[in-house]
Structure formats: structure tokens, C-alpha cells
Amino acid sequence: MKKFLAFAVATAFIVAACAPNKYAATNRVYKKQVRSFAKLLREYPVKDSFTTASPWVGTTNFSMRKPSLVVIHHTAQKSCDQTLRTFTLPRTAVSSHYVICKDGTVHHMLNDLLRGHHAGVSKWGGATDLNSSSIGIEIDNDGYEIFTPDQVNSLLNVLGNLKRAYNIPQANFVGHADIAPGRKVDPNRNFPWEELAKNGFGYWYDTTNVTVPDNFDAVQALRVIGYNTSNEKNAIQSFKIHFVQKDTTKVITEADRKILADLVRKYQ
């Protein structure tokens, strides 16, 4: 029996080792593109159309650009495999740095220092082109489901690593809906933003037992937090998807004003 078990384990190991990687071809494309970027960095001074002084003088004072924002998404697809497939098809032109499956498996698909294609047309505070300054994290979810405990645990680990590695401010952990009001609604209203805030990733209000001043400007408060208020109703809905959740209408209620009044202090 022991010999049979040993044989079975050895056979399983050999099969696993020899199993083809269905993403081998796209992995080669990834590595080729990274090598092309590395080659570009080595080829300084670049031959430009303007006259370059000779000899070339390179500064000694520089560093790699680092991400300063984390954007959390839900995939709105049927499975993790479908999302991985989507992110490895050139015609989709979409990607994310991380994908987290329902069982907590984390796929780190793109180096943190490379620009992903996840944010789209977006704005947060005064910043646009958020793909160039952010990390994208996609969580396997059809858009309506509860996020699994394994997913949340893995997400907290990833966020902790990112915060430490790049010194990302607590306020700069947001959702896709936050940066694209009216265009995106993810992650859905089941997302545990309060739990994330308790762990230092984003903010949450402390109390609704506040007196809201008569001159309180809710739209200005949304703007201070970071929302694009060019369409006020869309900004209100994005705020409510994140911070209210039970009610995601485009109308500010008195209860919403209390949440805003308490919350905005943390962003000032």
C-alpha cells in the first residue's frame, strides 16, 4: 500500500510538472513587452528631433515612479478563469495588476510599476489619467454577489503589501465607482468598505450622531473627498454606493448629509 501511495504521489507530481500552461503564449508576450521597455530605458540618451548637447550628461538624482492610488473593482464576469482570459486577449485592451478569485487565490498579472488598463475615463481629486498613477485590483464577482471571506482576507494582505511598499495614503484606496461616477458601479454595494477602513485602507465615518450646520454644502463636501461633481447626481450615487450601500439613489437624504459631515473632516 505504501509503495502504491508513493507511486501515486510521484505520478501526480510528474503530471503536474508536465501539464501545459494554457497561458504560456501570453506570458511570453508579457515578458517580451517588459524586455522592450527595459531596452528603451537603457538607450539613453534618446535620439530626439532636437539637438542634444555633447557629451550627454545624465543626472544621478532619480527614482522609479510609484503608484499613489489603489482602485478596487469587481469583475462582473462569471468566473476567475473568464477574467484571466479577458485580460490576456489583446483585443480587449483591458487589464489589472491583481485578480482575486473566490477561493482567495491572487493572480499578480502585471508588475506594480507598469501601467495597467483598468481605470478608463476617470478623475479623483484633481487627478486624471489614473491608469498612470494607480494599481488596479479586480475581485471575481458577478456584480451582485457577497464577497467571500477568502477574497477579503487576500485583499487585505495585498493592500497591506501595497501600502507598505509605496507609502500609499489611507485616503487613496477607492472603488471604480468613486473615480468614474455615472459610468461605473463597482465594487457593488456588498463590498466591505468599513472593514477595509478599520484596517487602514480608505476612510469610514465614525458616527451619524452629528449636527449638520445649516450652511453645509453636500456637493462641496463630495468634492473635498475627491469626487468629480461635474454631474452632481452621479457623484451622489457613487458616494452612496461606497458609504451608504443600502440606498444607492441619486438623492442626498438627511442621513446622507450626516455621514458626509462626519466623513469630510478626515479628508480636510
User: Would you state the cell numbers that stand for residue 3, as one nine-digit string?
Assistant: 509503495
Contacting residues for 258 by C-beta, under 8 A, at least 6 apart: 208, 209, 210, 212
Residue with cell string 504560456: 24
Is 254 known to be catalytic? no
- Which among 142, 29, 32, 176 has a CA at the least distance from the CA of 88? 29
- The alpha carbon dihedral of 184, 189, 192, 193 has a sign of positive
- The alpha carbon dihedral of 211, 201, 63, 127 has a sign of negative
CA–CA dist 107, 131 (Å, integer): 19
Bridge partners (DSSP) of residue 70 are 135, 173
**Which member of 43, 138, 195, 232 is catalytic?**
138
Question: What is the H or E stretch that residue 17 is in?
Answer: helix 2-18
Q: Rounded to 5 degrees, what angle do the CA atoms 172, 218, 191 make?
A: 45
Active site residues: 138
